[in-house]
Amino acid sequence: MYCSKQIISDGVFDPYSNKLLKLSTEKVVIEQGIISDIDSIIKCYNSSYLIADENTIRLLDNKLAASISHHVIPGDSSPSSSLVELIVNKVKDFNTLVALGSGTINDLCKYTSYISNKDYILFPTAASMNGYMSASASILTGGYKKSFQAHLPKAIYIDLDVVTNAPFRLTRSGFADFICRSTAQADWLLSHLLLNTEYNNLPFSLLRDIEQELLKEYPKLIAKDKDVVILLIEALLLSGIGMTISNGSYPASQGEHMIAHAMDEVYGHSLLPLHGEKIAVTTLTMAKLQEEKLLIIPTIKPTTVNEKEIIECFGTNEFIEIFNSKKISEEKAEHLNDIVQKNWSEFSEVVRKNHIPSKVLKKIFCDLGMAINAEDLGWDTGKYKKVVDLAFATRDRFTFLDIK
Ligand SMILES: [Zn+2]
């Protein structure tokens, strides 16, 4: 079984490029109680400044927190450009940022340290998402969440007790953000088959064993079983590594993420429902859609939707350029249908080998007490259907959402 620690120390051999890939992260330490040594750990780095939120700062006792230069952001913060500005200012006289938190804190620290040309080290507080080892940061700017180039942490220190005792809602969200590997891989393969875009199996090879184990052991997450939470955090780190070695989020974010992000455009960006909770619902939608399309040879149809419908649905003309670049003409449809006719049965077999059936996913999400339908998340079903239909226009990636 692959583990992040080994990949970081030895690198990983990529049979596709025939190269040994090395990451800029120098170490991953997983230990019980490591958080209580935070002051001596950060002393090893050149003048450090810690960023936490109202919840994560409580992991340090008052005396310890007082001994470290730090700033605490509100617990319900999103990684906004105004917080980026604030942190850039706070850390200007320091050399290393210390992130104590999960999604928002990690995005803010990896981005602000990158644009300020500083290192950052990370103390993750929950197995809640797969962005710890990915080199891009999601920042809310001008009302939209955008992905920005950032960098990897210099080191990650994971306190076993802290991630195990994180709220279960965060842990199960992390599980969903990991298990969407199945729908993401199917979409990435589809683009590769039809448009001959680049595809790399290595990210999935890294995850295979750990995924099998998690598919058996996930119910133990409910009881906060330490070993299984550690498996999950490993899976999330490896998922991030997969994105980093692919130079993009391709192996972990395709149609299911496009729908979730498109729903954010419709309902506005808020912390709740959590990212992984949305991904559970959209992964089920994608898994079902992919199953349907894989069953019979589909016919690719020319685009019939127009710009007005896209603007009306998302309330912005933000996606028009992408939409126009993705439009399928009569000629293109004919060309793609030729490929589909010749290759679909073979392709379908490859995808199905790596696909987790929607029924299995549904059972897992139900076992974990997660929402499985749009309405469970407070989303209007009609709006959701419309977004699923139009989400293809929101990102320059060809997925099963493009097959009408
Ligand atoms: Zn995600």
Mean pLDDT score, 92-100:
97
Mean pLDDT score, 56-77:
95
Least confident segment among 50-54, 110-114, 139-143, 171-175: 139-143
Of residues 144 and 25, which shows the higher confidence score?
25
- From ligand 1's centre to the CA of 17, what distance in Å? 26
- From ligand 1's centre to the CA of 6, what distance in Å? 24
How far is the C-alpha of 272 from the C-alpha of 256, rounded, in Å? Answer: 17
pLDDT band at 145 (very low <50, low <70, confident <90, very high): confident
pLDDT at residue 279 above 90?
yes
Report the length, in residues, of the chain. Answer: 404
- From ligand 1's centre to the CA of 279, what distance in Å? 7
pLDDT at residue 227 above 90?
yes
Beta-strand relationship, 136-141 and 144-149: antiparallel
Confirm if 121 and 153 have CB atoms less than 8 A apart.
yes
Single-letter code of the amino acid located at 185: Q
CB neighbours of 100 closer than 8 A, spacing ≥ 6?
A: 38, 50, 51, 52, 56, 57, 59, 60, 123, 125
Other C-beta atoms closer than 10 Å to the C-beta of 299 total 12
Residue 205 tokens read as 């090879």
pLDDT at residue 17 above 90?
no
- From ligand 1's centre to the CA of 44, what distance in Å? 32
pLDDT band at 268 (very low <50, low <70, confident <90, very high): confident
pLDDT digits (tens, 9 = 90+) for 316-359: 898 999 999 999 999 999 999 999 999 999 999 999 999 999 99
Least confident segment among 10-19, 220-229, 244-253, 365-374: 10-19
pLDDT at residue 376 above 90?
yes
Residue with tokens 């139900």: 366
pLDDT band at 142 (very low <50, low <70, confident <90, very high): confident
pLDDT at residue 49 above 90?
yes
Closest CA to 185 of 264, 128, 239, 245: 239
The domains of the chain, with CATH numbers, are: 4-163 (3.40.50.1970), 170-198+250-402 (1.20.1090)
Percent of the chain with pLDDT strictly greater than 90: 93
Mean pLDDT score, 271-281:
94
- From ligand 1's centre to the CA of 64, what distance in Å? 33
- From ligand 1's centre to the CA of 29, what distance in Å? 23
Cα–Cα distances (Å) from 37 to 5, 33, 53, 350, in that order, read 20, 8, 19, 48
- From ligand 1's centre to the CA of 70, what distance in Å? 28
> Is it true that the peptide bond before 298 is cis, omega within 30 degrees of 0?
no
Mean pLDDT score, 249-264:
96
CB neighbours of 242 closer than 8 A, spacing ≥ 6?
A: 202, 203, 204, 206, 207, 251, 252
pLDDT band at 98 (very low <50, low <70, confident <90, very high): very high
Cα–Cα distances (Å) from 341 to 155, 191, 303, 333, 334, in that order, read 49, 15, 19, 12, 10
What residues are paired with 28 via a beta bridge? 156
Residue with tokens 């993401």: 184
- From ligand 1's centre to the CA of 253, what distance in Å? 6
- From ligand 1's centre to the CA of 255, what distance in Å? 11
Cα–Cα distances (Å) from 357 to 43, 254, 347, 348, in that order, read 49, 17, 16, 13
Mean pLDDT score, 19-33:
94
- From ligand 1's centre to the CA of 145, what distance in Å? 13
pLDDT at 271: 79
Q: What angle do CA 38, 169, 37 make, to 5 degrees?
A: 10
- From ligand 1's centre to the CA of 48, what distance in Å? 29
How far is the C-alpha of 282 from the C-alpha of 384, rounded, in Å? Answer: 10
Other C-beta atoms closer than 10 Å to the C-beta of 175 total 26
pLDDT at 270: 79
How far is the C-alpha of 239 from the C-alpha of 336, rounded, in Å? Answer: 31
Buried b or exposed e, range 231-270, using 16+ CB within 10 angstroms: bbbbbbbbbbbbbbbbebbbbbbbbbbbbbbbbbbebeee
pLDDT at 144: 81
Percent of the chain with pLDDT strictly greater than 70: 100
How far is the C-alpha of 374 from the C-alpha of 380, rounded, in Å? Answer: 7
Computed over every residue of the chain, the mean pLDDT equals: 95
- From ligand 1's centre to the CA of 20, what distance in Å? 27
CB neighbours of 171 closer than 8 A, spacing ≥ 6?
A: 126, 127, 128, 221, 224, 229, 232
Phi/psi at 120 (5° precision): -140, 145
Residue with tokens 């199996």: 201
- From ligand 1's centre to the CA of 275, what distance in Å? 7
Phi/psi at 168 (5° precision): -60, -30
At 357, is the secondary structure helix, strand, or coil? coil
pLDDT digits (tens, 9 = 90+) for 99-140: 999 999 999 999 999 999 999 999 999 999 999 999 999 999
How far is the C-alpha of 4 from the C-alpha of 174, rounded, in Å? Answer: 17
pLDDT at 269: 79
Mean pLDDT score, 136-162:
93
Closest CA to 168 of 132, 131, 126, 129: 126
Phi/psi at 233 (5° precision): -65, -35
At 13, is the secondary structure helix, strand, or coil? strand
- From ligand 1's centre to the CA of 266, what distance in Å? 18
Mean pLDDT score, 184-192:
97
- From ligand 1's centre to the CA of 197, what distance in Å? 22
- From ligand 1's centre to the CA of 387, what distance in Å? 18
Element (H, E) at 137: strand 136-141
